[in-house]
Chains A and B, each alone.
Chain A
């Protein structure tokens, strides 16, 4: 009996010392009409996705974990578009114009980078032009590119020939323009995840603080589609939907390894795609599709 007792103690001690503390991962759907599904993981070849953009059946990925720009689709798999040999370090966010030219930011190397429709990557405007740590990016209706700089606390306009000018200076008080997107009326939404504020810049160039000082809200990436603004929150592991004049609505909460939700995009059918950095150091991540329940 004593031997059995000592065995129990020894096993307990061993289990406690050797147990690897793993995180349990959950997705809580606060909107019952949606369901989540993991459509791609790092096993397909990408690292930790940051910015995402759906276009014509493919998802374009600013892969912060592997320092590459990629394109993934369920049918053709993963395709590398450009890697860090071209000089970028940490792709952050991306947009694509109607001609298929991709523009992306880099919060480590700075600048605005582009991959043209033929697949040639190049630096459009770099640090020497004042773009030190670029975060959010948006395509303006006039064809220029708006870029948020997290270290200078400003938003810059970059023309297609690489000319840089100030668009929203420090006086506007945006600390970190982490993500930006235009709505269908030409208003510019700006997510500031340092001050936890969602801004709206209207057509008169007036800046409004739409959501601020709200518990459990820190906008990471924003994407506008069909009258709704979709927002990820990596601090609190949440996916929100915002419509003007309506309350902010939580669609899903992510916990455990899935908490660090980053990029967001939608397809033509209204399915939402969220990039999750499950472990940035180990270059692990997932892409989760959140779609409406059928029937």
Chain B
């Protein structure tokens, strides 16, 4: 068994033993306020914190972070369509993957099922073949990519808030994903790598004169039009806190319109 699977099994071994523990983990895994709300709060605090030049500098970093987050989300999506690794919970069953013209049996991972209601419901649905066919793969973790790039951006803007956001992302959001066997450590590590690489790339690019001037101009605009920029940042924090679910729904609607109206 690979090191990745061994690590997953070790982390997942705490699941399925205590009803209370599993429900607490499930709460932080599924509840948007408990999960992502904290990151959204840190982002807002970093955005409005600081004074004068320090505030402008923070906003420039956070604006870069927002652009990087869009790219990170896109990159993890592209990777998930290029390299396919089934979710560990699905891989606990007997599955066959289409490779060329052959169905190849995949190795099974003996994961433990948490005792919370949602996990149990999903597990029983899986046993009867009710799988979400749009969400079969787990590689890489889009949660890891998205929340880590935001948390790292917050960390660059404000160390205290950044440590809180990073700690919450790693020890609450991502740990819950692995304990529940929704992601393997490899999924998380790859998502993290994408986040670090792309944020670093954008930070270096931001050091270019024209990019820095652009960010400076936008930051000044957010200060000058504080009411409008507050509304915009509210929408950004709201989407962060709801794990982009509304943006995804909107994109889904656009896709459906393209298919049904334009016949694409």
Contact = CB atoms under 8 A, between A and B. Distances in A.
B249 interface: no
Nearest to B194: A12
Interface residues of B, number: 39
A32 B96 CA distance: 12
Interface in A82-133: none
Nearest to B128: A250
Nearest to B105: A35
Interface in A7-51: 8-9, 12-13, 15-16, 19-22, 24-30, 32, 35-38, 41, 43
A8 B201 contact: yes
Nearest to A33: B94
A37 B95 contact: no
B205 A6 contact: yes
A6 B205 CA distance: 6
B130 A253 contact: yes
A28 B197 contact: no
Contacts of B205: 2, 5-6, 9
A38 B131 CA distance: 21
A257 B98 contact: yes
Contacts, number: 113
A26 B95 contact: yes
A28 B95 contact: yes
Interface string B94-117: 111110011101000000000000
A24 B101 contact: no
Contact of A253 (B97, B129, B200, B202): B129
Given A9-B201, A26-B136, A255-B131, A32 B94 contact: yes
A258 B204 contact: no
A28 B90 contact: yes
A12 B198 contact: yes
A238 interface: yes
Contacts of A269: none
B2 interface: no
Contact of B75 (A16, A29, A215, A238): A16
Contacts of A26: 86, 90, 95-98, 136
A2 B207 CA distance: 8
Contact of A29 (B95, B98, B198): B95
Contacts of A153: none
Which 4 pairs, one residue from A and one from B, show the smallest C-beta to C-beta distance?
A: A253-B129, A5-B204, A25-B98, A8-B201
7 contacts: A16-B78, A19-B81, A27-B103, A28-B95, A30-B128, A252-B129, A255-B131
